[in-house]
Amino acid sequence: MTDNKRPLKTLDRVLSKAGLGSRTEARSWIGAGRVRVNGQLIQTPDHWVDLKRDKVTLDGKPVKAGEKLYLLLYKPTGYLTTYDDPEGRPTVYDLIKDVGQFLVNVGRLDLDTSGLLIMTNDTQFAELVTNPDFKVPKTYLVKASTLLSDEHLDQLRQGLVLSDGPTKPAIVKRLRDSGKYTHLEITITEGRNRQVRRMIEALEAKVLKLVRVAIGPISIGDLKIGQYRNLTPAEVSLLTQKKDI
């Protein structure tokens, strides 16, 4: 048993949180005998480390906590929200190679969705932002494959029943109808897999284009596609405040 009041973390997590690499990479380093704790060779990734008392080294160099980073990335379509892809497809990590620290993505965007993605080495922040209790709203621009009626939009506003249960009411705004397509803005506070696409499919339509344009109070603004910027301390604070919506 461990004392929950002590700052204990598994060894692989310590290496990852220090910005050195993913937990998978950390486990391989540990297994290869490159990591020591207080001078002792440790080859068990789940070995508990007390961050206030233990000295961890990788290849003989001390492992120190990295500076906390919070990035806002404008993800293009065609990029996976994952660290590595066996098929060699581009990932969001290809866009932040110059950062110099390992970051985790806060939530996901699928291959065919573009827009805002937060990346950080602060796992506690990431857990808070993705926690449903904080109800961080995400706003998307949608191009639907058919003309959607006002009744369709009201269904989105009231909530739909999907395969994994009913959705919470969404904020929906019709932007325009062009030809046979409806363009709309939709804001949700849940983080289900492919949720917006599935909501539109429940209306017997498909999403032709999907862009996440805002996360909470943070919008794309002048950020160029494929580029990123640092979040301000005020933005970080706003994202971890509980919302009553």
Q: Could you give the 3-state DSSP secondary structure of residue 105? A: strand
CA angle 108, 84, 11 (to 5 degrees): 90
160 φψ region: left (φ > 0), alpha (ψ -120 to 50), beta (else): beta
Is 244 designated active site?
no
Residues 81/92, Cβ–Cβ less than 8 Å? yes
At residue 77, does pLDDT exceed 60? yes
Any idea what DSSP says for residue 197? H
The 10s digit of each residue's pLDDT in 155-214 is: 999 999 999 999 999 999 999 999 899 999 999 999 888 999 999 999 999 999 999 999
What Å distances lie between residue 245 and 12, 69, 205, CA to CA?
A: 37, 28, 27
The letter for the amino acid at 228 is Y
Which of these is catalytic: 46, 84, 94, 110? Answer: 110
In the chain the domains, ranked by start, together with CATH numbers, are 8-62 (3.10.290.10), 70-131+222-239 (3.30.70.580), 137-215 (3.30.70.1560)
36-40, 61-65, 139-143, 226-230, range with the lowest pLDDT: 61-65
Residues 72/231, Cβ–Cβ less than 8 Å? yes
d(CA 138, CA 214): 6
Q: Distance of alpha carbon 27 from its chain centroid, rounded?
A: 22
The 10s digit of each residue's pLDDT in 104-137 is: 899 899 999 999 999 998 888 888 888 878 889 9
Straight-line distance from the first to the last Cα atom of the chain, in angstroms, rounded to the nearest whole number: 39
Query: What is the pTM for the complete model shown?
Result: 0.78
